[in-house]
Amino acid sequence: MSRAFVLPACITTACAATQAPTAVAPQAPGFWLGLWHGFIFPIAWIVSLFASNIAIYAVPNNGGWYDFGYFLGIVVFGVGARKSHVVYRDRVINVRARRLD
């Protein structure tokens, strides 16, 4: 198979994946649970390293709203909200030196 055919075929088939609207259960995690899961991500990730029944992302979920809540939970309310460094300004006092003889 030539390279000229593979790339367009991959790009075309990537757009073909769809999900039936009835595939998502009404009780699937939505925005608020995504927000909570994003907020507790650092703790959940550490616990998931030692416990096989803990996950950092709920599957199945309701899609875009869960993802948006998860993103906000991590970036705004979770790990991304903390300052990484503090900048201090030094005060410079301009004093004329006197010559001592």
The whole-model pTM stands at: 0.56
Q: Contact, 69 vs 34, CB < 8 A?
A: yes
- pLDDT tens digits, 43-80: 888 998 998 888 888 888 888 888 899 999 888 876 66
Cα 78 to Cα 64: distance, rounded to the nearest angstrom: 19
pLDDT at position 52 is: 87
Tell me the H-state helices in the chain: 3-14, 31-39, 41-50, 64-72
- At residue 49, the pLDDT reads 92
